[in-house]
Structure 1
Amino acid sequence: MEIIKDLTNEAYRAMDGLSASDIKAILANPYKFKQGIKRSASTAQNIGSAIHGLILEPENFERDFIIADFDRRTKSGKEASANAEASGKILLKPSEFETAQNVADSFKETEFFKEHFIKDFGEAESSYFCEFEGVKVKCRPDYFNLSKNIIIDLKTTSNDNGANPNEFLKAVANYGYYIQAKWYLNITGAKNFIFVALETSEPYCFAVYELDKSFIDLAEEKIGKALSIYKNLAYYSKEYKSEFGDGEPQILTAPAWLFYEK
């Protein structure tokens, strides 16, 4: 196990090792993963990154972010924007920074933050590297409370009532958060993994969640499948370009929830 502190996100992503995001990408489509297809971060994701920075690493915020509103309709605005992007920093509009600051300030006032985010007993954004089943792997916990042996992961949501249990449960399932939880537990050896759902609209509600055994068991199964696929990526050639299957028609069955909706 190798633990590196003070790595930038950019440096972490450049280092060898499968991440939890890679595992989800492999499961979604091995061919796209093999081709290295990446998606640009959305505005919501950039705001989420800023909230993480303000809560977890405020001392490094200027290192990782630029706050500006360039007019890309002008030549000077385009050049300034291009220079900002070339720096590797995340570009935020002043209004986006204000939102991130409000969410971070609100959360820092909570008893949960004061009890769990204790600098002398934990570490933020440390990078972990090791081998798992013969494959180089890595993870970067938002915050690892070493005294409690708990990983705390911040998830921002711009949805109305996104921190509500029913809404957050959908996010856990749809975005594969449960896979991330098991992946981090496997690599770090932490005892527990906790999600903090942070709403990005007033009054900036939050909620804290832990996943039950059914989620963790399912994640273990999916991780095993993803690693098996990864070890056989040579199979996923251009002939596999059809998203699922070999291009032959597949039968779709009406899901159970469609009937219950009636």
Structure 2
Amino acid sequence: MQPEIIEPGYYRDLDNERYHASSAVSKSQLDLLHKSPALLQWSRTAPEDDEKKTALNVGDACHALILEPHRFDAEYAIGPDAPKNTKEGKSKWANFEECLGDKTVLTHAEGRKVKLIRESVMAHPHARWLVESEGDVEASIYWRDSMTNQLCRCRPDKALPDMGWLLDVKTTADMSKFAKSVYEYRYHVQDAFYSDGYAQHFGTPIKAFLFLVVSTSIECGRYPVRLFTLDQAAKDAGRFAAHRDMQTYAECMDSGVWPGIETLSLPPWAE
């Protein structure tokens, strides 16, 4: 089945499945293309082993409870605080599983942790203000890249069009290493790519792209919460990389050739 072509626009109610199945290129696909263009094509056709998928995505559970509590209630269920190797525990878990449906199960400890993380976010005054401000959660933006005319898409965690802001929620195991994660996971490219999409649709430059970062590890008895924006040098580097990747994408789309050989170098310690 051919991917659906969704025309440029701002979609508040586009479901996640349609968004990910559409033909427009996304930032995560550009990440694959950046490594090797063939990987983007591979990702579109390689089979997934449903039995080996991780049952719990802590990042998604935190995201849902922070920004979409209704989705958390619909998609997640917190198990009873009871060991399964006792008669009473077995009974409680049996009753729990009878009403489970297709929800993702969190253990009692996992559910407690995710709730504490949300409470930690809401204790941060600026983070709480952003979470509670009027805006669109998981809205989708489709646009034509100004240089290549290729169809692009992004799905900000929260858009606040009245303020000209986009908010992205990230989880990290170590807050002190988040700056490194920005480079490793190309969050600076995400900043540029999403900002370009916002500007193309709304006809005005974005005023702020913010990362709401929450730690999944305790420090001094608390789950740290920070708000970050990138400096101009990081934004410029991200825009350069995004434009270069879009040019490569356009060339592959035009030629139908998706190179797949990657070059490896010896690590510094081996030299």
- TM-score bracket, shorter-length normalisation: 0.7 to 0.9
1:147 paired residue among 159, 162, 165? 162
Q: Compared with structure 1, are the counterparts of its residues 93 and 129 closer, same or farther at alpha carbon in structure 2 (3 Å cutoff)?
A: farther
In structure 2, give the amino acid aligned to 1:108: M
Q: Would the aligned equivalents of 1:117 and 1:145 in 2 still touch at CA under 8 Å?
A: no
1:19 aligns with 2:26: yes
Per the TM alignment, residue 50 of structure 1 is displaced from its structure 2 partner at its CA by 0.8
1:196 paired residue among 208, 212, 215? 212
- Note the alpha carbon deviations across 1:189-212, whole angstroms, 9 max, x for none: 222111121011331111111111
Q: Would the aligned equivalents of 2:127 and 2:227 in 1 still touch at CA under 8 Å?
A: no
- The residue aligned with 2:194 is 184
Q: Compared with structure 1, are the counterparts of its residues 41 and 185 closer, same or farther at alpha carbon in structure 2 (3 Å cutoff)?
A: farther
1:174 aligns with 2:189: no
In structure 1, give the amino acid aligned to 2:231: D
- The residue aligned with 2:203 is none
1:236 aligns with 2:246: no
Structure 1 residues 189-198 or 95-104, which shifts more? 95-104
- The residue aligned with 1:125 is 138
- The residue aligned with 1:136 is 151
- For 1:218 and 1:141, locate their aligned partners in 2 and report how far apart those are by CA, in whole Å: 20
Instruction: Give the structure-1-normalised TM-score.
Output: 0.75
- Structure 2 spans left out of the alignment, 5+ residues: 1-7, 85-93, 200-205
1:223 aligns with 2:230: no
- The residue aligned with 2:125 is 111
- The residue aligned with 1:3 is 10
- Structure 1 spans left out of the alignment, 5+ residues: 72-76
- Note the alpha carbon deviations across 1:98-156, whole angstroms, 9 max, x for none: 3222111221232113322334x322111111211311111111112233211111111
- For 1:43 and 1:217, locate their aligned partners in 2 and report how far apart those are by CA, in whole Å: 38
1:35 aligns with 2:42: yes
- Note the alpha carbon deviations across 1:234-258, whole angstroms, 9 max, x for none: 2225xx3x3x14xxxx664738xx9
Instruction: Give the structure-2-normalised TM-score.
Output: 0.73
Q: Would the aligned equivalents of 2:75 and 2:104 in 1 still touch at CA under 8 Å?
A: yes
Q: Would the aligned equivalents of 2:169 and 2:211 in 1 still touch at CA under 8 Å?
A: yes
Number of matched residues?
229
Q: Compared with structure 1, are the counterparts of its residues 91 and 8 closer, same or farther at alpha carbon in structure 2 (3 Å cutoff)?
A: farther
- The residue aligned with 2:268 is 254
- Note the alpha carbon deviations across 1:60-80, whole angstroms, 9 max, x for none: 2233335569x9xxxxx9xx9
- The residue aligned with 1:50 is 61
Q: Compared with structure 1, are the counterparts of its residues 32 and 113 closer, same or farther at alpha carbon in structure 2 (3 Å cutoff)?
A: same
CA RMSD of the aligned region, Å?
Answer: 3.0
- The residue aligned with 2:4 is none
Q: Compared with structure 1, are the counterparts of its residues 41 and 17 closer, same or farther at alpha carbon in structure 2 (3 Å cutoff)?
A: farther
- For 1:21 and 1:62, locate their aligned partners in 2 and report how far apart those are by CA, in whole Å: 27
SS in 2 for 1:204: coil
- The residue aligned with 1:74 is none
Structure 1 residues 190-199 or 144-153, which shifts more? 144-153
Q: Compared with structure 1, are the counterparts of its residues 196 and 251 closer, same or farther at alpha carbon in structure 2 (3 Å cutoff)?
A: closer
1:101 aligns with 2:115: yes
